[in-house]
Structure 1
Amino acid sequence: MKIFIASDHAGYTLKERIKQNFSEIEFIDLGTNSADVSVDYPDYSHDLADKIGQNFGILICGTGIGISIAANRHENIRCALCHDVTTARLAREHNNANVISFGARVIGEEIAFEMINVFLNTKFLGQRHQRRVEKINIKRA
């Protein structure tokens, strides 16, 4: 399994811990490469959104809010800001989310590990949810 992962400086340490914890996953790390230099989370979010293709992605910033907003500006990205295992599961089952985001300053690493595990192993339910996902991509004037 190949997963794209990126963070800003606030999420750097958690990003590195995730890569260590999920050693069986091939991570494509798009940065940042340090917690010591302040960087702009939209840069990393846009880079991941541009490269993800049919893969899954993980985005981390201080709260998860800004990085998820930036990702969702891209067509065919359904980035879910999650805070617990339930939101991670429902993001996949109901929204067919392909990117999970969360805040390193908001959740602990064990919760992050659990959310990632659930997110990557939960299937989209389709059916009535497919109709709703299709409506997400409708361009409005």
Structure 2
Amino acid sequence: MTDRIVLASDHAAIALRQAVAAHLAAKGFEVDDIGPTTPESVPYPHQGEAAARRVAAGEARFGIILCGTGQGIMMAANKIKGIRCGVCSDTFSARMIRQHNDANMLSIGARVVGEGLALDIVDAFVSAEFEGGRHAPRVDMIKALEA
């Protein structure tokens, strides 16, 4: 699997998304930042869908999406088959959605957390591995809901 991470946001989270992109690139990840780049209003459902489709197609290992609260863009991403995205405002949750839920996308609220915490959340997410074991049947149950 590639070390590519796709990033997307709405207009409310451009600065934080760009900080996350620079942070990940400095750590050696290949970053696919799909924007936006200008502050005009951009609908978060389109951005969440675009990133989620790339992850679902195997073009990126993970997706990290951002909007004002992280909630709306996460809801849009989760409508795409094969996506398991959680919104996190703490490192524990970010680590757990990887370890227990095999999440392949992370959502962050730019109006909820500051840059320092957001970067810690990203690090917790990308460094955690799915534990499998007792969690695997539950993830399979989530996948079965898409059928």
Q: Report the TM-score range of the alignment, normalised by the length of the smaller protein.
A: over 0.9
Q: Among the aligned pairs, what percent are the same residue? A: 41
Q: Which amino acid aligns with 1:11?
A: A
Map of 1:59 onto structure 2: 65
**C-alpha displacement of 1:21:** 2.2
1:140 Cα deviation after fit? 7.2
Q: Which residue number corresponds to residue 75 of structure 2?
A: 69
Alpha-carbon shift at residue 111 of structure 1 (Å): 0.8
Aligned residues: 140
Paired position in structure 1 for 2:31: 27
Q: Distance in 2 between matches of 1:139 and 1:38?
A: 33
Which amino acid is 2:11 matched to? H
Aligned to 1:107: 113
Structure 2 counterpart of 1:89? 95
Equivalent residue, structure 1, for 2:123: 117
Moved over 4 A (4+): none
Provide the C-alpha distance between the structure 1 equivalents of 2:134 and 2:13, rounded to a whole number of angstroms: 35
The CA distance in 2 between the partners of 1:26 and 1:140, in whole Å, is 29
SS of 1:95's equivalent?
Answer: coil
> Mind listing any 5+ residue stretches in structure 1 that lack a counterpart?
none
TM-score between both structures, scaled by the size of structure 1: 0.94
Corresponding residue for 2:138?
132
CA distance in 1, matches of 2:21, 2:65: 13
User: Once the 2 structures are TM-superposed, how far is the Cα of residue 137 of structure 1 from its aligned partner?
Assistant: 1.7
Q: Shift in Å at residue 3 of structure 1?
A: 0.5
Give the match for residue 39 of structure 1: 42
What CA RMSD, in Å, does the superposition of the two structures yield over aligned residues? 1.4
Residue type at the aligned position of 2:22: Q
Q: In structure 2, how many angstroms separate the alpha carbons of the residues matched to 1:20 and 1:27?
A: 9
Q: Deviations over 1:77-128 (max 9, x none)?
A: 0001111000001011110000000100000111110011111111111011
TM-score where L is the length of structure 2: 0.90
